[in-house]
Amino acid sequence: MTGNLPRLARRAAAPRPGIVHLGLGAFFRAHGALVIEDAMRPAGGDWGIIGVSLRSAGVRDNLEGQGNVYTAVEMSPEGQQPRIVEALSDVIFAPQNPDALLDLMADPAIRIVSLTVTEKGYCHIPSLGTLDVSHPEIQKDIGAAHPATAIGYIVRALERRRSAGVRPFTVLSCDNLPDNGRVARNVVVGLARCIDADLADWIERDCRFPSTMVDRIVPATTPDAIERLATRVGYRDLAPVFHEPFCQWVIEDRFVDDARPGFESVAGVQMVDDVAPFELMKIRMLNGTHSALAYLGYLAGLETISDTVRDPVFRGFVQRVWRDEIIPNVTPPEGVDSVAYAEDLLERYANPAIQHKTWQIAMDGSQKLPQRILGTILDAVKAGRRCDGLILAVAGWMRYVGGTDEQGSPIDVKDPLAARLRALSDAASSPREKVVALLNVTEVFTPELAELIKDDLCRAYEMLNRVGARECVRMRSQE
């Protein structure tokens, strides 16, 4: 029984805040928060983090009862390494008091606002990278002083800073979007322009939006994992995070007034002039195959990514897709060997201590597919190169969003476009009609790409329906 164990508690005073982080999910608490804490050790600085949850009070409630500290557990095949993280100065649930949060964000002590709000949190048009002005929450944020979205909070806080004569903060995007700084800038300036053109000009001129590439595999924390940790460490932590050993953060060194933690002292962090080649390689090679394995693996009844690469058929498939379909369409950053990068990815995927659910990665496919898979396919088709494995992955996504698995059981599809995708799928009277209807969803597919892949995709989809995901994967893993 772990019920009687003492609760985890803070050991030292909370650091003075310099960062507000929007989107306090497991990923940031297992990645950015650890790096920032490490950077504060040798280099000092008041870079404590005020963590903000925008949608649910759960993390705040759990952390509040333990002084806003938590355990980050490194999970490797050799064992587990717990570490107590004390980098959070405070944790806030935004809807409870939006005004107080905006005041905090307008405080001159806050010099960075970082974000992990997932792809859909940018309220952008994924295929274009610009603000979706018709987005219902953005429409609300244009009219109301109390925002609903992360973008709304940033714009309204910058508005307060400007009227108080305070310099803007740096907006640090840590989401898996290519050129995430540019996307953040587009949506922030885009929303500001709908509110006040002078504010938009000021942001464009004085604010900074460095792009970053973030990488660490962090599955969602499960109740079972919480119980096992308590038994192991002898205290109760209601908000631990579990992550793989690997950690990488590549950051463009463009901060307002150069105000930032001493990142360069931390292993795994690179400060660079241009993140683009790192980001492209990571999104296409890691996230692209993650999504491919997620849809096809889920359909084949495989629960986690490590289950997929333990299956020789899927393992052969992902290796072949890297070799023939992704690596030829990626120019790696100078000095990086993409073949070795792929080998390392396979080892990371195989880590049996990381239970990363295919269902979790399959979430929000409409927001992920363009940058993870479709860009690679477009480059491959234009160059006359092979991409039948990635086309099969897109067919897998189409099958998945139809909402029924290969055994006829319902799939719990989580996606902002889920209802529309399902309706299109249900209304189609043949597999070909269904593929064509989904290809017409322009948030995901550009008309150019849709035309180029239609026939191959229809064939892949029909085959998937006929012989099932595992057999298709077997066929497409061949030379």
Q: Tell me which residues touch ligand CS2 (CB under 6 A).
A: 176, 215-217, 286-287, 290, 360-361
- Other C-beta atoms closer than 10 Å to the C-beta of 14 total 17
Q: Rg for the chain (alpha carbons), in Å? A: 22
Residue 201 or 347: the one with the smaller Cβ distance to ligand CS2 is 347
For the chain, the residue count is 479
Residue 203 or 293: the one with the smaller Cβ distance to ligand CS2 is 293
Least Å from the CB of residue 363 to ligand CS2 = 7
Residue 278 or 461: the one with the smaller Cβ distance to ligand CS2 is 278
Closest CA to 364 of 310, 300, 295: 295
Least Å from the CB of residue 286 to ligand CS2 = 6
Q: Is 426 helix (H, G, I), strand (E, B) or coil?
A: helix
Residue 60 or 282: the one with the smaller Cβ distance to ligand CS2 is 282
Least Å from the CB of residue 313 to ligand CS2 = 21
With a CB cutoff of 8 Å and minimum separation 6, the contacts of 399 are 295, 299, 461, 464, 465, 469
Least Å from the CB of residue 4 to ligand CS2 = 35
> Residue ranges of the alpha helices (H) in 234-327?
276-282, 288-299, 305-310, 312-320
Least Å from the CB of residue 436 to ligand CS2 = 27
Closest CA to 277 of 321, 326, 324, 330: 330
Residue 76 or 360: the one with the smaller Cβ distance to ligand CS2 is 360
Residue 194 or 225: the one with the smaller Cβ distance to ligand CS2 is 225
Measured between alpha carbons, how far is 353 from 78 in angstroms, rounded to an integer? 9
Least Å from the CB of residue 258 to ligand CS2 = 27
Least Å from the CB of residue 293 to ligand CS2 = 9
Least Å from the CB of residue 297 to ligand CS2 = 12
Question: Residue 56 burial by CB count (10 A; 0-12/13-18/19+): exposed, middle or buried?
Answer: exposed
Residue 332 corresponds to which tokens in the numbers above? Answer: 């790696």
Least Å from the CB of residue 118 to ligand CS2 = 9
With a CB cutoff of 8 Å and minimum separation 6, the contacts of 53 are 23, 24, 59, 60, 91, 92, 93, 94
Residue 27 or 461: the one with the smaller Cβ distance to ligand CS2 is 27
Quote the crossing angle between the two packed helices 431-439 and 447-467, to the nearest 10°.
150
Least Å from the CB of residue 289 to ligand CS2 = 9
Give residue number: closest CB to ligand CS2.
Answer: 290
Measured between alpha carbons, how far is 23 from 21 in angstroms, rounded to an integer? 6
Measured between alpha carbons, how far is 212 from 181 in angstroms, rounded to an integer? 7
Residue 93 or 349: the one with the smaller Cβ distance to ligand CS2 is 349
Measured between alpha carbons, how far is 20 from 173 in angstroms, rounded to an integer? 12
Q: Can you list the positions of beta strands (E) in 68-125?
A: 70-76, 79-85, 88-93, 112-115, 124-125
Least Å from the CB of residue 16 to ligand CS2 = 30
Residue 31 or 161: the one with the smaller Cβ distance to ligand CS2 is 31
Residue 37 or 175: the one with the smaller Cβ distance to ligand CS2 is 175
Report long-range pairs for 271-279 (Cβ below 8 Å, ≥24 apart): 275/179, 275/181, 275/210, 275/211, 275/212, 275/213, 275/250, 275/251, 276/178, 276/179, 276/211, 277/331, 277/332, 277/333, 277/334, 278/213, 278/250, 278/333, 279/178, 279/179, 279/180, 279/211, 279/213, 279/250
Measured between alpha carbons, how far is 177 from 311 in angstroms, rounded to an integer? 30
Residue 53 or 371: the one with the smaller Cβ distance to ligand CS2 is 371
